[in-house]
Amino acid sequence: MALAKNLLRQHREKAGMSQERLADAVGVTRQTVISIESGRYTPSLELALRLARLFKCRIEDLFGL
């Protein structure tokens, strides 16, 4: 099931981060970031928590059904 709301790209761009830098910051590959941003991959709870912590927001601010 694809996520209806995926604002990862907007948060990343607002923070001035490249996909590579974001991937390094949360311990995944750049391809994983690309897949999440394009909606082809739904992040695990652990990865979603790492992303939310990095951007100082709630998981719900990044992703939703």
Written as tens digits, the pLDDT of the chain (65 aa) is 667 789 999 999 999 999 999 999 999 999 999 999 999 999 999 999 999 999 999 999 999 98
Question: 64 — phi, psi (to 5°)?
Answer: -165, 165
Alpha helices in the chain (DSSP H): 8-14, 19-26, 30-38, 45-54, 59-62
**What is the per-residue pLDDT for 4?**
79
**What is the per-residue pLDDT for 65?**
84
CB-based contact 27:42 (threshold 8 Å): no
Identify the structural domains of the chain with CATH numbers, from first to last. 5-58 (1.10.260.40)
In this structure, is the dihedral angle defined by the CA atoms of residues 59, 25, 55 and 34, taken in order, positive or negative?
negative
In this structure, is the dihedral angle defined by the CA atoms of residues 29, 47, 64 and 12, taken in order, positive or negative?
negative
